[in-house]
A and B are shown apart, each in its own frame.
Chain A
Amino acid sequence: MHDVVTKSRDVTLLEVLDRVLDKGVVISGDAVISVADVDLIYLGLKVLLSSVETMEQLRGAPITGPMQEPT
């Protein structure tokens, strides 16, 4: 596990992700390689959200347990 929240002030990972993935200067064009054009970078927190759900499903759904809603 990476120690991701080691700031002197009390800041959650949510706050970091809310900014780093979703805000900040966006540059596109010839100089920048094509990943900047890939939608997934712009999706930002939606990507995170789907990842969270994936993680929860992996973590929280034993094979014999009830099926989770796929939303």
Chain B
Amino acid sequence: MTENRLVYLYCVTNEEPKLTETKDLVDNLYFFCHRGLYAVTSKVKESEFGEEGLKKNMADLEWVKANASTHEKIIEQVMANADVIPFKFGTLFNTDDSLKAMLEEYSEEFKTILRKLKDKEEWGVKIYCDTNKLKESVINNEPEILKIEGEIKSSPPGKAFFLEKKKTELLAQEVNRKINEYSQESFQLLEELSFEARINKLLPKEVTEREDDMVLNSAFLVGKNEVGDFINMVDTLKMHYENKGFFIDCTGSWPPYNFCGFSNQKVRNA
């Protein structure tokens, strides 16, 4: 009784992968070379990764966590010695031959991407904002709001009520303006130190499991020689903003998930 197996593709690279420390991550990890490109793959069970099985398993958070992190760890192993093109979780082929056919079709595109990625790393920067803390900082630093606060104290209750309302509106506006200003400024300063930069969608609190709100979710393709400058800039931003209620979370280096610029869907739709 042998169950049908599918071919799971993790990444493509142009140097022979060293898979020494991946033995305990998955069974059946292997790679093969086609047209000067190496595909790092493993055989997975159709019952687990086939259409039916995957649909069921993607609803199981523990399964998703474990398998997504295996996907990441295997790519990181390869990345330690080579530039990689990371594929999205759950890229599956029926056989090695169907994967080879895909490599054959897109070998030039992959080689172009690998040339672009040479000596570069992906870094991620997420900025969160504690709105209450930012409000305090705005109240204490905005002359107009301080002025209204003064007026409220010396006004009769009726007028004070309307002034209070005005103050609340002004404060909300100012808080939004500051969030935009700080996150845009941070992004631009980091973008200047990068080859490419991306802004991704903000993740809700249910996903981040944080009290504060995500206000920027960004990724940068940074030259290996410029990583030091990039980190220094992040530290500078932290110094400027963290006492104003912002939290800057910088992670890396990552496989260049955000900078492979390749989807054959456009080609097919054209």
Task: Please give the residue numbers on chain A whose beta carbons come within 8 Å of chain B beta carbons, in ascending order.
Answer: 1-2, 4-5, 7, 9, 11, 13-36, 38, 40-41, 45, 47-55
Measured in the bound complex, the distance between the Cα atoms of B217 and A14 in whole Å is: 12
Residue from the list B54, B59, B68, B263 in contact with A20, Cβ < 8 A: B68
11 further A-B pairs in the complex, CB-CB below 8 A; given A16-B72, A24-B87: A2-B65, A14-B203, A14-B209, A16-B69, A18-B124, A20-B257, A24-B89, A26-B262, A26-B263, A27-B87, A27-B264
Q: How large is the interface on B (under 10, 10 to 19, 20 to 34, 35 or more residues)?
A: 35 or more
Measured in the bound complex, the distance between the Cα atoms of B250 and A11 in whole Å is: 9
* A30 partner residues in chain B, CB cutoff 8 A: 98, 101
Name the CB-closest residue of B to A1. Answer: B62
In the complex, the number of residue pairs spanning A and B with C-beta atoms less than 8 Å apart equals 157
Query: Are B99 and A31 in touch, CB under 8 angstroms?
Result: yes
Name the CB-closest residue of B to A4. Answer: B69
Measured in the bound complex, the distance between the Cα atoms of B69 and A5 in whole Å is: 8
Query: Are B68 and A28 in touch, CB under 8 angstroms?
Result: no
Residue from the list A19, A22, A53 in contact with B72, Cβ < 8 A: A19
* B93 partner residues in chain A, CB cutoff 8 A: 31-33
Question: In the complex, which of the residues B69, B71, B106, B262 has the most CB atoms of chain A within 10 Å of its own CB atom?
Answer: B69
Measured in the bound complex, the distance between the Cα atoms of B134 and A62 in whole Å is: 37
Name the CB-closest residue of A to B260. Answer: A25
- B156 contacts the other chain (Cβ, under 8 Å)? no
Residue from the list A34, A35, A45, A53 in contact with B203, Cβ < 8 A: A45
Name the CB-closest residue of A to B55. Answer: A40
- B254 contacts the other chain (Cβ, under 8 Å)? yes
With A25-B85, A34-B51, A49-B206 as known contacts, state yes or no: A4 contacts B66, CB within 8 Å.
yes
